Amino acid sequence: MWLTFNGTTLSMSNGTDEYIDSYANFEADSGLSVPAIHIGYISTYYEPTITHTWNTKDRADPQAMPWAEGDAILANFDATVAARDARLAPDPFDVAKQAKLDNHATGDRAAEDTPVTYELNDYDATEGALTEINSIATYVLGGETLPAGFTWITTYNIEVPFTALNVKELFVLIAKKHYQDAHKYAGLTKQVEAATTVAEIEAIPDW
């Protein structure tokens, strides 16, 4: 184990874990005070039974061992680290809330990649597909006639002959899906934002 501090920061290690923090946080975590640095020195280093020095920029001056104050700090290492970890641990409510929001966002993105089925064929229903079918539906609703042999391509790249009615019906189907997905996402997000406990968060359905 070793210990060092330099006037603002204290560091120590047990060989596996390491603690590095400000004096204020160390004292809050450990309940101990950081020993004062001797006048003329900028840091100290202590490794029980091996070395104990007070250091300037140019030299390391050996000190007596054992060092009671350093031993007390190192003896309290596990408790100090546990207190730091508890202090830094995220709030369980914040963790649960973010996890639920992430689940809903992932579900919403995946939903966009889910095709719609129209007359036994699957068709893309992404935002781009909606824009594309909307442009054709607008063309048709404006009184224009589709060119002879007009087709629409399925999710699996099969060309299917389409009439003006087919265009209108597929547009409505894709638009309805987008509305339902957006409404579902907004509703779930509203529930999450209104929740005030972890239990309330966990009770909200996943996507």
The pLDDT-based confidence of 74 (bands split at 50, 70, 90) is very high
What is the tens place of the pLDDT at every residue in 14-45? 999 999 999 999 999 999 999 999 999 999 99
List the one residue out of 86, 102, 95, 107 whose CA is nearest residue 197: 95
Q: Which residue is listed with tokens 């680290």?
A: 81
pLDDT at 196: 97
pLDDT at 34: 97
What is the tens place of the pLDDT at every residue in 93-118? 999 999 999 999 999 999 989 999 99
Whether this model's pTM surpasses 0.85: no
What is the tens place of the pLDDT at every residue in 38-60? 999 999 999 999 999 999 999 99
